[in-house]
């Protein structure tokens, strides 16, 4: 096992992920605390198909993914680099603001062997209305958790930062107490907010929005990737303006100039989509 903390990974440490490395290594060394029932090894030709593509930095790209199933049915993923002179080594990813647990313990859904039929084809569809409702539900859950952590804050904005091409969509919060130069950069300098990413929506929704964007569903296959991205952005904006999110926000202290916002990071001239869609 490779326990070396590579510079490229250490540079991404922050208050959220600084314990990821030792946690991940300890989990691997303990064998996940359970008897191993099955191991499926697959070659990794590109890191893009991995469930957390865009969310992690690697000291060296993995050659294989080992999907490990324990006796209790827990499914985990090891990333492995193999070189003849040194043998196999586990690659320790650095996660950008996310704990390793959601990746290593398989909270993203992996099909079980019984669901995979030889030669079978899975048809994945994207239903905008259902996706919107589930995003709203996920955002509401996030806000209900964070209301206690933000108890003494006054909120000026809540944003859903959505990057369909990376399979990312996270909640960001602007408070009355910030240290960036708003006069120079403007209110929507989201990357400079203290709470620029408090949490992401559920992993299965991230997988679906990326699959839809890349044309890997049976929905809107005739559209271009940018056009599908706009569909996703509009859905996300509608979710943020939903009644259930509004009910959750009543628990917060909101500033007079409080706003909801969703922007298309690839087309800034379109402005705030929350002003373009109905709630």
Give the domain ranges of the chain: 7-115, 128-275
Output the pLDDT for position 252.
Answer: 95
Produce one character per residue of 174-186: b if its CB has 16 or more CB atoms within 10 Å, e if not: bbeeeebeeeeee
- The pair of three-digit structure tokens given for residue 44, joined into one six-digit string: 């990794």
**Which range, of 101-105, 205-209, 226-230, 251-255, averages the lowest pLDDT?**
101-105
Output the pLDDT for position 253.
Answer: 95
pLDDT in tens, 25-42: 666 666 656 677 778 888
pLDDT in tens, 86-114: 777 776 655 544 444 444 444 434 333 33
**What share of the chain in percent tops pLDDT 70?**
67
| Residues 28 and 90 sit within 8 Å (Cβ to Cβ) | yes
Output the pLDDT for position 227.
Answer: 93
Q: Which residues pair with 56 in a beta bridge?
A: 95
CA distances from 52 to 19, 93, 100, 147, 275 (A): 18, 10, 10, 27, 31
Output the pLDDT for position 40.
Answer: 80
| Whole-structure pTM value | 0.59
Confidence check: pLDDT of 176 > 80: yes
Cα 179–Cα 183–Cα 189 angle in degrees, nearest 5: 65
Instruction: Identify the band that residue 272 occupies on the pLDDT scale cut at 50, 70 and 90.
Output: very high
Provide the residue count of the chain: 279
CA distances from 259 to 124, 143, 277 (A): 34, 15, 14
| Residues 83 and 122 sit within 8 Å (Cβ to Cβ) | no
Greater confidence (57 vs 90) lies with 90
Confidence check: pLDDT of 160 > 50: yes
Instruction: Identify the band that residue 66 occupies on the pLDDT scale cut at 50, 70 and 90.
Output: confident
Average pLDDT value for residue range 146-170: 92
Report the distance separating Cα 94 and Cα 55, nearest Å.
8
Output the pLDDT for position 50.
Answer: 56
């Amino acid at each position: 096992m490779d326990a070396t903390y590579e510079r490229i990974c250490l540079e991404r440490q922050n208050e959220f992920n600084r314990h990821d490395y030792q946690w991940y290594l300890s989990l691997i060394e303990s064998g996940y605390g359970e008897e191993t029932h099955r191991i499926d090894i697959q070659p990794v030709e590109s890191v893009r198909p991995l469930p957390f593509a865009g969310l992690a930095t690697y000291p060296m790209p993995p050659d294989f993914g080992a999907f490990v199933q324990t006796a209790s049915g827990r499914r985990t993923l090891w990333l492995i680099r193999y070189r003849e002179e040194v043998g196999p080594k586990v690659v320790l990813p650095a996660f950008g603001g996310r704990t390793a647990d959601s990746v290593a313990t398989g909270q993203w859904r992996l099909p079980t062997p019984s669901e995979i039929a030889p030669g079978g084809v899975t048809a994945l569809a994207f239903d905008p209305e259902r996706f919107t409702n589930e995003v709203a539900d996920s955002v509401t859950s996030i806000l209900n958790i964070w209301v206690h952590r933000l108890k003494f804050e006054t909120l000026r904005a809540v944003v859903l930062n959505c990057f369909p091409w990376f399979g990312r969509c996270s909640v960001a919060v602007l408070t009355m107490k910030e240290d960036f130069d708003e006069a120079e950069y403007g209110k929507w300098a989201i990357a400079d907010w203290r709470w620029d990413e408090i949490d992401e929506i559920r992993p299965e929704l991230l997988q679906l929005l990326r699959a839809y964007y890349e044309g890997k569903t049976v929905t809107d296959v005739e559209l271009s990737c940018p056009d599908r991205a706009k569909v996703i952005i509009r859905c996300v904006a509608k979710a943020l303006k939903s009644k259930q999110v509004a009910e959750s926000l009543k628990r917060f202290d909101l500033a007079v100039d409080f706003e909801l916002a969703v922007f298309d990071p690839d087309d800034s001239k379109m402005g705030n989509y929350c002003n373009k869609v109905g709630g």
